[in-house]
Amino acid sequence: MYLTGNTRINRIGFVSTRFKGNDGVSLETVKWRQVLERIGYECFFFSGLSDWAPDKSMVVEEAFFAHPRIQEIQDRCFGTTVRDENLSGEIQAVRFKLKTALYDFIKNFKINLLITENALTIPMNIPLGLALTELIAETGIPVIAHHHDFAWERQRFSVNCVADYLSMSFPPRLHSINHVVINSEARQQLSYRCGLSSIIIPNVLDYDAAPPLMDDYAEGMRADLGIQKDEALLLQPTRIVARKGIEHAIELASRLKDKKAKLLISHQERDEGSDYYQRTMDYAGLMGVDVIMQPDIIGAERGVTETGKKKYTLADCYLNADFVTYPSSYEGFGNAFLEALWFKKPVLVNRYSIFHEDIEPLDFDVVIMENYVTNTTVDTVRSLLENPQAVEILAERNFELAHKFFSFNLLEQRLRQVLMNFGQL
C-alpha cells in the first residue's frame, strides 16, 4: 500500500481540517493540487469540511476544527495548565476514530504519499494531529508536512495543559516526514525549537495566467454596494481577525475624506470570535467611515440570491477596488499581497516581519507603513488615487517581479525538490 523500494508515488492524499472557502490554507492547497496534477499526480482529500470533488474526498466531521466536540476539547486544553482524566480520555477517543478513518482513506484511495496542510502545525484540532502522528509512525508512509502557522506564533496557545501532545504532534519528529514552511522565520524557528530541517516554499500565484478583466457583470458591483462614481473604494481582502489590523484601514479611509473613501471588507469569517469584529465596527463609527460588508452578495461564485440580487466574487472586489489595504501585524506569508499584485492594484502594507525579511528585499513598489498610519502614508495613497498613470507603471513592474519570484514555476521546482527526497523524479 505504501511506498517501498523503487515504487513511484502517484496518488497523493491531502489532509486538513477543511477544504472549503477562501481561507489561506485551502487557497494554497488548491495551487499545490493544480501543480501536482499538472506534473502527473492524482490527488485525494481528507478533511472535516469540504466542498471539493466528492468522488476523491473523505469527510469525517470531527476533523473540522469548528466541530462542537473539537471546540469543547480545545476550550478545555488552553488557558489552564492541568488536564483532567476525562479530557485525556475524550481526546484519545476522537484520536482513535480519526486514525481509523485515515487508515480507511489511505486504503480506499490507494494513497502512497500524504501532504498534511497545517494539521501537524497549529493545534486547532489536537486529536487529528495525534491521529496523523500515530499513523505515520505505524506505517512509515512518506509525508510532506506543509506548515502555515505554528503554535508558538499564536499567544492564545501559550498557556495549555497539553504540552505533551504539542511536543508529540505539532510538529512530529518522524523520519518519513519532509517539512515545508512558507517563510525564512518559520524555518529558523523550526530548527531552533524542534531540531528539524525544512525547505521554504512561499505562497504563490499563477502569474502565467492573466487576471480577469473588468466586464459588464463586474461593472454593476459598485452601484449594488451603493458606491458613487466619485467615491474611492478601499478593499480589505481579509478575514476579520485582530492581526489583520483593519483599524489602520479604517483610519486611512477616514483621513481620505476628500476622496470620499469607503472600505470594503471582502471576507466575513470571524475564526477568532466576535470581539474584534465589534471593536472594528465601533471604531469605524467613531471615525465616520462607511464600512461595507455584504456576505449576501459577495461569495465564492457569481450567481443570483434568493431575492434576485447579483452575487459577486473576490475577483470582482479586486476589479472594482481603487486601492488595496493590507495592514496586518503578522502574516505567515501574504496571499492578499500576491493577489493585489496579480490584479495590478496599488497596495498598502504594514511592515510585518515576514514581509520585511522575505518580500521587501525584492523591491516591490508599494506603500509601506510601520505599525501606524502617518501623514506621509495618507499623502502617498492620495497621490496614487489621483494619478492612474503612475499606478499603471508601478503595477506592471510589481506584476513582473511577482511572476519571477512567486509563480507556479517556482512551486513546481520546489515540489520536485521535495519529491526527490523520497527517491522520486
pLDDT > 70 in the chain, percent = 97
Distance CA 240, CA 418 (A): 34
Res. 3: pLDDT tops 80: no
Res. 4: pLDDT tops 50: no
Listed by start position, the domains of the chain span 11-204+408-420, 216-405
Q: Per the structure block, which three cell numbers stand in for 66? A: 469548528
Q: Are the beta carbons of 328 and 244 closer than 8 angstroms?
A: yes
pLDDT of residue 6: 55
pLDDT of residue 239: 86
Q: Are the beta carbons of 52 and 144 closer than 8 angstroms?
A: no
What is the fold, at CATH topology level, of the domain defined by 11-204+408-420? Rossmann fold (3.40.50)
What is the fold, at CATH topology level, of the domain defined by 216-405? Rossmann fold (3.40.50)
pLDDT of residue 119: 98
Cis ω on the peptide bond leading into residue 211 (within 30° of 0)?
Answer: no
Backbone angles phi, psi at 181, to 5 degrees: -120, 170
Question: Which residue did the predictor score with more confidence, 5 or 308?
Answer: 308
Question: Which residue did the predictor score with more confidence, 24 or 227?
Answer: 227
Q: Tens digit of pLDDT for each residue in 167-217?
A: 999 999 999 999 999 999 999 999 999 999 999 999 999 999 999 999 999
In this prediction, residues 40-53 reach a mean pLDDT of: 96
Q: Tens digit of pLDDT for each residue in 264-281?
A: 999 876 655 688 899 999
Q: Does the fold of domain 216-405 match that of domain 11-204+408-420?
A: yes
Q: Tens digit of pLDDT for each residue in 289-333?
A: 999 998 889 988 899 998 999 999 999 999 999 999 999 998 888
